[in-house]
A and B are shown apart, each in its own frame.
Chain A
Amino acid sequence: MSIDKLLQRDSFIERGARSRAHALLDPGSFRELAGPFERLYSPWLAMQKLVTQADDGVVVAKGRLDGQPTVVLAIEGAFQGGSMGEIGGAKIAGALELAARDNRKGVPTQAVILFETGGVRLQEANLGLAAIAEIQSAIVDLRRYRPVVGVSAGTVGCYGGMSIAAGLCTYLVLTREARLGLNGPQVIEQEAGVAEFDARQRSLIWGLTGGEQRVASRLADACVADDSLEVRSTVIALLARGVPPVHRSERAADFLACLDQVDAATQATAADARAIYAKGLE
């Protein structure tokens, strides 16, 4: 990016969840559902004397995207690490369920999920996990009719049970700053030791799980610059592709064939993952 372009650029990462939804939807079409004035504070955080937020860190925005009926589900990474509690999880699952119902009634509502999340909110543990299972169910239901596009811009990235939800999306958009993985570096270090994964080594983390690597190894569809217009136009282009004959999550046979080629006796490198998946997942 040239300096001029850099100065004019409208950063997507720097926007909060509500602002990101505004940036995506067609001008004037944004309408928030179950918004902050409903005062949906997490009862479980309050019980533990922790900070709550009136929208529980999730924005549900209905509107149009390139003229098409769309619901945007934006997770606020700045609130509790974007973690999924009962309320935030129910907002995402409930909205996806209604989008699927729309399609069954002949209204082709599509969905965009902005993943900025560490996964389950551990202070609401089992209710967060249950909500994530319901989100996953709703994605699989909706994607039969219209694409569900996932976007992770950073800086939180997309982890835990929500990375599995991202893996169920029809298409996935990442920035170079985003990270996508199941287990956060700290948790791997805790569970498996520092030799397995050093949570302080940022180049290791981004090298293996960053947006560029994930797209190069076909675990995501597009790596975009941190630019709101580019994010928006990429999402529109992917939605226009419609529902593919086979979703990434259905390619069990292809992935198993790839994993057969992995030399599990040695530690994995980014180059190995790229080489094996670039060829095996064409």
Chain B
Amino acid sequence: MMDTNTKQPARGAMWLRLLTGGARPAHDWASVQAVDAILAGQPARYIAVVPDPDNRFPRVRNGEVGLVEGWQLARAVQEVMALDRDAALKRPIVAVIDVPSQAYGRREEAYGIHQALAGAAGAYAQARLAGHPVIGLVVGQAMSGAFLAHGYQANRLIALDDPAVQVHAMGKASAARVTLRSVEALEKLAASVPPMAYDIKSFASLGILWKVLEPTNLALPDEQDIALVHGALEAALADILADPGRDLSGRLQGRHRQASRRVRELLDMEWEDKQA
């Protein structure tokens, strides 16, 4: 299969560098970079998955989240939790998200890639529940299992309004095959059914994002763009700290999530057995 990601520099690696002032990663891992830097005057950990053309697993060379990546993400988050175990103020974690997909391969299934991604998703969720403010910053692709593992457990999600930014459950070719449609038919349908669309504007209409930012120089962000993103991260942090809740209920308010709210209302009403 053609590699479509090498033609432009990886957005995730670029934004990680810009936001942390090029600080050195905490580990010598090639595909998962965890960088400790400042956010709103306090220490924070920034984490990104970046392409590793020499990855020993052949299906993980374009920035995909594979077996090792899933568990390294988990480690990067667990370390932060361990550092602040006894601290009253838990340091923030910023997931810089640009993940084209999970790794699709036989090795991955054999060694349980689902469990590796559960390691990552679970660590992020535990950090959030333990009081670490977790912010997901979508600067590129946020696809399917890779997004579930890296960023979707954040208290707040921020995305850049950029044609390169995409959120979805499956790549177009595979989604077409599984739903027994042509790619053209799928694209046509996606234009009229908001949850099926690939672009960030449609995704924003679901109410899952906290903010959408509009930088001016997408390929090579300037000082103003960096300040815009920094400002949004600080605002998200303040918003999380002002919120007593640690769950994901802030995502349920969108106009396209009426059914999600209705189901929860029903469950809550019927939860206690009135006849008992």
Question: Which A positions have Cβ atoms within 8 angstroms of B?
Answer: 31, 33-34, 38, 40, 42-44, 47-48, 60, 62, 86-87, 89-91, 94-95, 97-98, 118-120, 122-134, 136-137, 140-141, 144, 160-161, 163-168, 180-184, 186-188, 190-193, 196-197, 208-209, 214, 217, 219, 247-253, 255-256, 258-259, 262, 264-265, 267-270, 272-273, 276-277
Contacts and interface: CB of A to CB of B under 8 A. Distances in A.
A73 B152 CA distance: 23
Contacts of B171: 191
Interface string B108-128: 111111111111011101101
Interface in B213-270: 247-248, 251, 256-257, 259-260, 262-264, 266-268, 270
Contacts of B59: 192, 196
A249 B118 contact: yes
Given A123-B196, A125-B175, A137-B247, A188 B106 contact: yes
Contact of A187 (B111, B174, B262): B174
A75 B72 CA distance: 31
B105 A122 contact: no
Interface SS majority for chain B: helix
A120 B144 contact: yes
Interface stretch (B18-26, B86-94, B162-170): B162-170
B129 to A, nearest CB: 6
Contact of A191 (B152, B174, B263, B270): B174
Contacts of A38: 266
Given A182-B117, A183-B104, A164 B195 contact: no
A140 B120 CA distance: 12
B40 interface: no
B56 interface: yes
A129 B110 contact: no
A276 B1 CA distance: 30
A130 B208 contact: yes
B247 A249 contact: no
Contact of B173 (A87, A190, A264): A190
Contacts of B259: 40, 42-43, 86-87, 90
A89 B168 CA distance: 16
Nearest to A136: B121
B53 to A, nearest CB: 14
B74 interface: yes
**Interface extent on B, as a size class?**
35 or more
B174 A164 contact: no
Contacts of A125: 168-170, 175, 195-196
A197 to B, nearest CB: 5
A133 B119 contact: no
A212 B122 CA distance: 25
Given A42-B259, A187-B177, A267-B106, 17 more contacts: A34-B267, A40-B266, A48-B189, A60-B267, A91-B263, A126-B208, A129-B147, A140-B125, A160-B145, A167-B117, A183-B104, A187-B170, A188-B106, A192-B59, A250-B78, A252-B123, A269-B110
B14 interface: no
Contacts of A140: 122, 125-126, 129
A191 B179 CA distance: 15
B170 A122 contact: yes
B85 interface: no
A94 B193 contact: no
A120 B78 CA distance: 28
Contact of A127 (B57, B71, B123, B256): B256
14 contacts: A33-B267, A40-B263, A122-B169, A124-B195, A144-B129, A164-B121, A166-B114, A167-B115, A181-B113, A182-B117, A187-B104, A191-B101, A208-B106, A249-B121
Contact of B71 (A132, A136, A160, A256): A256
Contacts of B78: 250, 252
